[in-house]
């Protein structure tokens, strides 16, 4: 496979009291950092926002992939950019017309992606695939880490891969939720490029080893 697999640990599963140490430890082994932003409205949980992203930006050079599980992403693009976000992904369920958010992200110089929840079909984001750098398939219901991978994400990844390849787009496919040594291979085979892993990395006895094992699986086949 000529598309490199990239690993994006989700800090949601890290110990927030020791965040800088937890990130330092895995930084040399990973490709980007996945930052889950939740507003308690689009999803029931509340996680973190621009002030924490600003601290993260000061403590790591890793690309900050900010997953916005918030009702009004457009209102927060500017503060997120100022805080040090490199890319944002927004839910199509939150912004049925994503073009204003995509346009504003481009103006600000942020990479932008679109996310689909488990019940949302690929067709919801298909018209915009040429405008975004990332198409994200949720393989859990958003809001919490540590959930079981939903197998129905796999055919959606396959369909996206087909569309992206047939249109010769450079859009990458990210899969988010329940990625571990059992589920990473099938997600890779289905056509994903970026693998978000929270629990299986940060809750592992040895997070660096967990990343290495994940990478071994992703590089097979
Ligand atoms: C869920 C988040 C995920 C989550 C993944 O709402 O979007 O990024 O942190 O964590 P695990 O790997 O534990 O499913
Ligand atoms: Zn996420």
pLDDT digits (tens, 9 = 90+) for 171-204: 999 999 999 999 999 999 999 999 999 999 999 9
35 CA distance to ligand 2 middle (Å): 7
pLDDT digits (tens, 9 = 90+) for 48-89: 999 999 999 999 999 999 999 999 999 999 999 999 999 999
Sheet holding 172-176, edge to edge: 6-9, 194-197, 172-176, 134-138, 111-116, 87-91, 64-69, 33-38
Closest atom, ligand 1, to C-alpha of 178: 14
pLDDT digits (tens, 9 = 90+) for 16-53: 999 999 999 999 999 999 999 999 999 999 999 999 99
Q: State the pLDDT confidence band at 1, using cuts at 50, 70 and 90.
A: low
Residues lining ligand 2 (ion), CB within 5 A? 36, 67, 176
This model's pTM is above 0.95: yes
Active site residue 189: no
8 CA distance to ligand 2 middle (Å): 10
Active site residue 36: yes
Closest residue by CA, ligand 1 atom 3: 177
Helices (H), 167-206: 184-190, 199-202
Q: 157-161, long-range: CB within 8 Å, 24+ apart, which pairs?
A: 157/187, 157/190, 157/191, 157/192, 158/190, 158/191, 159/122, 160/122, 160/129, 160/135, 160/191, 161/190, 161/191
Say if ligand 1 is within 6 A of residue 91 CB: no
23 CA distance to ligand 2 middle (Å): 16
């Amino acid at each position: 496979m000529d598309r490199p697999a990239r690993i994006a640990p989700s800090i949601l599963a890290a110990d927030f009291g020791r965040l800088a140490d937890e990130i330092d430890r895995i930084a040399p082994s990973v490709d980007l950092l996945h930052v889950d932003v939740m507003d308690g409205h689009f999803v029931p949980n509340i996680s973190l926002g621009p002030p924490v992203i600003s601290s993260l930006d000061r403590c790591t050079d890793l690309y900050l992939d900010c997953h916005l599980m918030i009702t009004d992403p457009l209102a927060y693009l500017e503060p997120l950019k100022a805080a040090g976000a490199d890319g944002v992904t927004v839910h199509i369920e939150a912004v049925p017309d994503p073009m204003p958010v995509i346009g504003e992200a481009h103006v600000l110089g942020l990479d932008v992606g679109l996310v689909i929840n488990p019940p949302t079909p690929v067709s919801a984001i298909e018209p915009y695939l040429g405008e975004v750098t990332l198409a994200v398939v949720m393989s859990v219901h958003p809001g919490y880490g540590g959930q079981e991978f939903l197998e129905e994400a796999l055919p959606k990844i396959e369909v996206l891969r087909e569309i992206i390849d047939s249109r010769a787009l450079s859009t990458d496919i990210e899969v988010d939720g329940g990625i571990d040594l059992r589920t990473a291979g099938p997600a890779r085979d289905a056509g994903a490029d970026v693998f978000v892993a929270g629990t299986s990395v940060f809750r592992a006895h040895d997070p660096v080893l967990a990343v290495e094992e994940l990478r071994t699986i992703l590089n097979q086949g």
